[in-house]
Structure 1
Amino acid sequence: MSSETPPTAKKVPSERVHHGDTVVDDYAWLTVKDDPETIAHLEAENAYTQRMTGHLESLQETVFQEIKSRTLETDLSVPTRKGEWWYYSRTEEGKQYGIQCRVAATGENPPELKAGEPLPGEQVMLDGNELAGESDFFALGTSSVSPDGTLLAYSVNFTGDERFTLKMKNLVTGETLPDEIPGIFYGGAWSADGTTFFYTTVDEAWRPDKVHRHVVGTPAADDVVVHEETDERFWIGVGLTRSERYLVLSAGSKITSEVRILEADDPAGEFRVVRPRKTGVEYGVDHAGDHFLILHNANAENFELATAPIDDPGTWTPLIEHREDTRLLDVDAFEGHTVVHFRRDGLTGVRVLPAGGEPYEISFPEPIYDAAPSGNPEFVTGRLRLGYTSMITPPSVYDYDLRTHELILLKRKPVLGGYDPDDYEQFREWATAPDGTRVPISIAVRKGSPRPAPTLLYGYGSYEISIDPSFSVARLSLLDRGFVFAIAHIRGGGEMGRRWYEDGKFQQKKNTFTDFVACAEHLKESGWSSDVIARGGSAGGLLMGAVVNLAPEAFAGVVAQVPFVDALNTILDPSLPLTVIEWDEWGDPLHNPDVYHYMKSYTPYENVDGRVYPPILAITSLNDTRVLYHEPAKWIAKLRDTAQGGPFLLKTEMGAGHGGRSGRYDAWREEAFALAWILDTAKAAQ
């Protein structure tokens, strides 16, 4: 690499006292986004990163072309039946964004797909490329068709800050209606007659706190707030049951929920509470004909499924009782059956409960995989749409025939260039954490690759989010160069059930980090890995910062994307977006000294020291509202000032949000940049 001199962030000591502890933060000035000095520093970091990675431009372009050449650029999704229409999306070669379409429905089977060809009789509802225009960033937040199929509510954003403008379109005439509402959040729901649309807005901390009722054709100023959530720990959202009989208004913190329902044919009515919130109790509601289905964790750590009367939804009768070995994830109600999505032994599964019949589980052919119900909007149906993938099987769409029990493959994502899954292998290994806990690892490798080999180890480990074994076109650029790719299914995630999550949060958060280090060490000791490069994003970025402080010698490099590395300072400041909500995940260091001292003992920014650290690449976005840009900016500045080793690089997208660049070609280039850095870093470590 180049021996360029990196930017030096000025030190402006800022002193604060928490629970008797005096803290000096030299780089707090970087939190001021509109300060010209802040922008100048970020631009200087970008220029330095560009110089330090300039020798990778050819490799980056090669990897980009590999991703592009393996992708069928003009393609269609499998159509989904809703009412009198089949809905689908498609992409066109050379265009950044998807196109949402529909065709009139005839028959039970989806229309036959022909690569590169629109379906006969296609109606284009939204063309993301036309909506984006010349903007460098574009995101679609909401896209919801009214129950009768005549109106489309959709929302757009051009900055990445996740505040959208709601618009409406008449799908019969093609005209865009004058209705336009700025500042809304994701989601929304129609009334049964399509005259009214419910949507959410956010407060100053970017928390969805209000649900509004908009009557089509009336000024936004006349919209009524039907519910305001005043508890800062709770988000709210609004949707419809699959039967479209009930509007569902959900309020939820990290550990507690409360649901209100309203008959969808009475949009001006009052929502009624299903069961008042009780701290630690989470539940969700779906409508199943003459009763409701309630998925809840009241006295059931891994959740149980209950039924409830329509006129007394707070009275729950068990249908599927709690099991220690099975985490119930979701329930889908249909006219003649109920479908439960669950997790057991680190894998997902699907269970069908036929009305009046014996329950059964759908079996899948591979030893590790991810399967889930997907795209089932119809309440009355004899088929169940499923999504399926593994580390070597591209994303696949199946219809499961509930009468014949046949699993019908409708489409497998094409991978061009002669991809053959038989050329690759996937494995499940188990590491042992310092406290004796066995931690699963999913591994993919090209057959015949020499071992030990350079390894990319990915992790997340927060919010009970599971990183399940799945396929990636971009990952092939690593596997085909002899890399091992591995996922560490560490505590704090949900891979092994709710207890797995509970054992990786609050005062047990360090288990997340020691699990990850144990996985890296296991891969080396068992002969899989020569050098391990770690990668994670968002809360997985906090993981990256924590493990590199914990065991910098264990890693040959680290990629941290939108990393939550200044977690303590962020969660101490309730004025920042989402902070109060996060207290149910990490604890409240502002009011609890034990939480403060525990967090301070592991948060990445506070624990950088003078040891030799591996090369680190941090990638962030200026308009990110979830993990603010200044967290990695401060972290990199402190690494440069305090640690040895490196180099430490920061790349900031100056016009994007939490998900990075929005167009698919831009996203591929961003991924190619990261993969080129990984390949080069592994080579340098040998």
Structure 2
Amino acid sequence: MTRPPVARRESFEHCEHGVTRPDPYHWMRHSTSDLLENLAAERAFYDSACAHLHSLVSTVKAEMVSRVPDADVSPTWRRSRFSYYTRHLAGSDYGQLVREIHGSETDSIPNPDFEGGSRDENRTPLLSGQVVLDIGSLADDSGYLDLGLTLVSPDEDLLAYSVDTAGDEVFTLRFRDLRTGADLDDVVPRSYYGGAWSADSAWFFYTVHDEAYRPHEVWRHRLGTPVEDDVRVLVEPDERFELTLRQSRSGDVVLILAESRDTGETWAVDAHSPESPARSVGGRRRGVLYRAEHVRDETGPGRLLLVTNDEAPEFRLVDCPVPLDADQDHRTWREVRPEDPAERLERVDAFAGHVVMSLRSGSEHRLRIVPADDLAGPGTVLASRFPAGAVHLARNTAYDASAVTVTDRAHVEPPVWSDVDLASGKVEDRLREGAPGHDPTRYVTERMSFPAPDGTLVPATVIRHRDTRLDGTAPALLYGYGAYEATEEPDWDPALPSILDRGVVYVHTHVRGGGEGGRGWWLDGRLEHKHRTFSDHLAVADGLDGLVDGTRIATRGLSAGGLLQGAVLSQRPGRWRAVVAEVPFVDVVTTMFDAATPLTVTEWDEWGDPRKREEFDWMLAYSPYDNLPPAGGRPDLLVTGAVHDPRVMVREPAKWVAALRASDPEWSPRCLFRCETGAGAHVGPSGRFGHLAYEAEVLAWVLDRLGVHGGPVAR
């Protein structure tokens, strides 16, 4: 195929606030046979246009796979009777959840099949243990598989697990008897992420999402009874709010959180009395967020620790009683740790004698461990051992633990798990993830800052091979996101060395709208300030001139990061050699007018409500579909989408691609649309090797567009 598909145009205009917006591809809003034929033709053109890259894709994929151990085992986490861990067998796309009885003879036997990494004294041999769940066995013919949850019951006799085989995030919830290995007859056909067990293991709480994919209800199921008899525990009528559900580590409380972008409310259910009503912890006040953690008290119901922005923009820690009855004055909060403006307090995790605080400081994620009776004290602070790395609390399920497991990650460093003594702060390394043939010392990671137009310094993590000089000759690939106060923490990526070894500089831009700089960083990049997300990304690219080859800069982002790519493409098309916009949110104004589209109403507090003229003007000023770049001088463009994506409807990238092509026919063959027309999710194919194959395609295209060919050029 030498020419791309030409989508049908129909006369249609939007008219809001006296402003007319032509939309000749409005017909794509419905999933019709015409749309599906268009998407299939787009995929065929992409496959044809990239046929010359097959060899490079195969080479890059082989390099990526070579850095993944044939078999691996995670650190264990302990419950009362068993230790649990996950493992991948040789060549498997999906893992297994496995458990061992405490004190079994195999507890301390080193794993001879584990390639790379140090010995974990708590890790069992690769082929021992009871397989609780073989994830790969759940796959069907769709080619896609994802788990929503896996939760072992408090008595450790049952497992709740949920599966999605389409990529649309509609999960089927099932229950397995771990004594027999057989699934129960109880099947919930539609559920969402999050769940919690009652203390007696007889009841299970789960969330349900509506047709707009908003989790809006919490239900309670009694094991062994018909699902039709399940009881609705809570419903959230306000379409701006979503419900999330979890069990406290103590096992005593089920916590339900209703949250919009800037307001929240938490309910508590007594896990020992699962049929009792959910009671609000602190009511709901516009602009106030709070999330709860339970601290056990042997003589009573305990207390709740709340991380809140109430009178504290970067959040403080307060406590309050557990609300057990309707007459309790549960809205009286007592401050136990004041706000530190230099730290963004993100969450707390409670253990029997200590509390672990997760925080952001200096644009990096850290942990602070404090005694439960001295929550305002300095405690022990844990920071990453790696440049621009991040330390997080790993999976720790035991409330009475004397030590916790943490994980330390960086872009070119496979994660290291360590045990930290809660009382002394002593750190003992436990396990390093294997990465065959990978040598982290071959790479240099630096944190740099570049001035935005308003003078704000925008941080960026710059990664390169040690032999690649920042002398203005190397090509570069930028990656950015910048929304929801989300922070894409550094993480080992077996794909990354394949571009670094070929002399490409990788730059992760930490633009406003994300959470790298705390709550204020998000506030400076949302609503009327959204334009700063785009100017920050451009500022980093401009600041790199002289350090990298300014004529060979590619940029990449996904979802809201895809919006970022669409905006900087429209605003500065000549800045880029190539752009990768994955599942991009690009038809901003039209989508935010459509309350029936998934996520729309819940995101009015992020982007704005276009029914209001001022907010309409904000979005119209940058919406990529409404602001196409001028013809001529455009960079090469790769766009992705997925038919079953519930977060960015496939019509958005489809309409944008069609409009871009029609507005510049000569350039149109350089615009490719890789669409998942079958099962597939928001973030691409599933499975550890399936996703690497996708990454190999994208990175091979980027390398080709940057003029980097052949094998690694740096050693």
TM-score tier (shorter): over 0.9
- Letter of the aligned partner of 1:326 in structure 2? E
What is the match of residue 515 of structure 2? 494
Do residues 248 (structure 1) and 255 (structure 2) align?
Answer: yes
Map of 1:361-372 to 2, 5 A cutoff?
A: 361-372=381-392
Change in 2 beyond 3 A, CA 1:436/1:390: same
Shift of 1:601: 0.7
Check the 8 A contact 1:78/1:110 in 2, yes or no.
no
- Choose from 662, 672, 676 the match for 1:653: 676
Do residues 434 (structure 1) and 463 (structure 2) align?
Answer: no
Distance 1:460 1:244 in 2: 36
TM-score by length of 1: 0.96
Do residues 301 (structure 1) and 313 (structure 2) align?
Answer: yes
- Choose from 5, 8, 18 the match for 1:7: 5
- Choose from 434, 437, 442 the match for 1:423: 442
Deviations 1:41-64, CA, capped at 9 Å, x for gaps: 111111111111110000000011
What is the match of residue 712 of structure 2? none
Map of 1:179-328 to 2, 5 A cutoff?
A: 179-289=186-296, 290-310=302-322, 312-328=329-345
Secondary structure at 1:683 match in 2: coil
What is the match of residue 447 of structure 1? 466
- Letter of the aligned partner of 1:286 in structure 2? E
Runs of 4+ off more than 6 Å: 107-110
What is the match of residue 352 of structure 1? 369
What is the match of residue 21 of structure 1? 19
Instruction: Tell me how large the CA RMSD over aligned residues is.
Output: 1.8
- Letter of the aligned partner of 1:22 in structure 2? T
Distance 2:412 2:684 in 1: 26
Deviations 1:323-370, CA, capped at 9 Å, x for gaps: 211100110011100110100111111111124465231244334211
Distance 2:112 2:261 in 1: 43
**Aligned-pair identity (%):** 38
Map of 1:109-124 to 2, 5 A cutoff?
A: 111=108, 113-114=110-111, 116=113, 118-119=125-126, 121-124=128-131
Check the 8 A contact 2:154/2:197 in 1, yes or no.
yes
Shift of 1:382: 1.1
Do residues 411 (structure 1) and 431 (structure 2) align?
Answer: yes
Shift of 1:156: 1.2
Do residues 45 (structure 1) and 42 (structure 2) align?
Answer: yes
Shift of 1:119: 4.6
What is the match of residue 326 of structure 2? none
Distance 1:529 1:450 in 2: 14
Question: Which 10-residue stretch deviates more, 384-393 or 672-681?
Answer: 384-393
Check the 8 A contact 1:210/1:228 in 2, yes or no.
yes
What is the match of residue 389 of structure 1? 409
- Letter of the aligned partner of 2:643 in structure 1? L
Do residues 86 (structure 1) and 83 (structure 2) align?
Answer: yes
Uncovered stretches (5+) of structure 1, i.e. residues with no partner:
none
- Choose from 52, 56, 59 the match for 2:56: 59
Distance 1:237 1:448 in 2: 47
Shift of 1:314: 2.3
What is the match of residue 71 of structure 1? 68
Check the 8 A contact 2:412/2:497 in 1, yes or no.
no
Check the 8 A contact 1:398/1:408 in 2, yes or no.
yes
Check the 8 A contact 1:442/1:469 in 2, yes or no.
no
Change in 2 beyond 3 A, CA 1:71/1:213: same
Distance 1:45 1:135 in 2: 21
Question: Which 10-residue stretch deviates more, 92-101 or 19-28?
Answer: 92-101
Change in 2 beyond 3 A, CA 1:478/1:237: same
Do residues 505 (structure 1) and 502 (structure 2) align?
Answer: no
Distance 1:360 1:322 in 2: 18
- Letter of the aligned partner of 1:295 in structure 2? V
Do residues 173 (structure 1) and 180 (structure 2) align?
Answer: yes
Deviations 1:379-410, CA, capped at 9 Å, x for gaps: 11111211111223212211112244321211
Deviations 1:299-324, CA, capped at 9 Å, x for gaps: 11000011223355422211221121
- Letter of the aligned partner of 1:388 in structure 2? D
Question: Which 10-residue stretch deviates more, 289-298 or 639-648?
Answer: 639-648
Question: Which 10-residue stretch deviates more, 170-179 or 527-536?
Answer: 527-536
Shift of 1:111: 4.7
Distance 2:398 2:202 in 1: 21
Distance 1:79 1:45 in 2: 45
- Letter of the aligned partner of 2:461 in structure 1? S
Change in 2 beyond 3 A, CA 1:61/1:684: closer
Do residues 517 (structure 1) and 511 (structure 2) align?
Answer: no
Question: Which 10-residue stretch deviates more, 556-565 or 396-405?
Answer: 396-405
Distance 2:476 2:583 in 1: 22
Shift of 1:37: 1.0
What is the match of residue 662 of structure 1? 686
Question: Which 10-residue stretch deviates more, 88-97 or 193-202?
Answer: 88-97
Shift of 1:167: 0.8
Distance 1:666 1:236 in 2: 31
Count of residue correspondences: 680
Secondary structure at 1:387 match in 2: strand
TM-score by length of 2: 0.92
What is the match of residue 117 of structure 2? none
Distance 2:707 2:645 in 1: 32
Deviations 1:231-272, CA, capped at 9 Å, x for gaps: 001111221111011111111111111111111010111111
What is the match of residue 464 of structure 1? 485
Shift of 1:68: 0.8
Do residues 379 (structure 1) and 376 (structure 2) align?
Answer: no
- Choose from 14, 31, 38 the match for 2:29: 31
Deviations 1:478-501, CA, capped at 9 Å, x for gaps: 000011011000000010111110
Distance 2:548 2:39 in 1: 41
What is the match of residue 551 of structure 1? 572
Distance 1:501 1:518 in 2: 18
Shift of 1:108: 14
Shift of 1:109: 12
Distance 1:55 1:127 in 2: 38
Map of 1:524-535 to 2, 5 A cutoff?
A: 524-527=545-548, 531-535=552-556
- Choose from 468, 473, 480 the match for 2:501: 480
What is the match of residue 663 of structure 2? 642
Check the 8 A contact 1:80/1:110 in 2, yes or no.
no
Shift of 1:533: 0.5
Change in 2 beyond 3 A, CA 1:170/1:573: same
Shift of 1:107: 9.0
Question: Which 10-residue stretch deviates more, 98-107 or 204-213?
Answer: 98-107
What is the match of residue 122 of structure 2? none
Distance 1:42 1:115 in 2: 48
Check the 8 A contact 2:534/2:564 in 1, yes or no.
yes
- Letter of the aligned partner of 1:441 in structure 2? A
Check the 8 A contact 2:410/2:490 in 1, yes or no.
yes
Do residues 624 (structure 1) and 645 (structure 2) align?
Answer: yes
Check the 8 A contact 2:195/2:245 in 1, yes or no.
yes
Uncovered stretches (5+) of structure 2, i.e. residues with no partner:
115-124, 297-301, 324-328, 710-715
Shift of 1:420: 1.5
Change in 2 beyond 3 A, CA 1:119/1:71: closer
Secondary structure at 1:583 match in 2: helix
Secondary structure at 1:204 match in 2: coil
Check the 8 A contact 1:238/1:249 in 2, yes or no.
yes
Secondary structure at 2:413 match in 1: coil
Check the 8 A contact 2:348/2:356 in 1, yes or no.
yes
Distance 1:108 1:467 in 2: 40
Distance 1:670 1:379 in 2: 40
What is the match of residue 704 of structure 2? 680
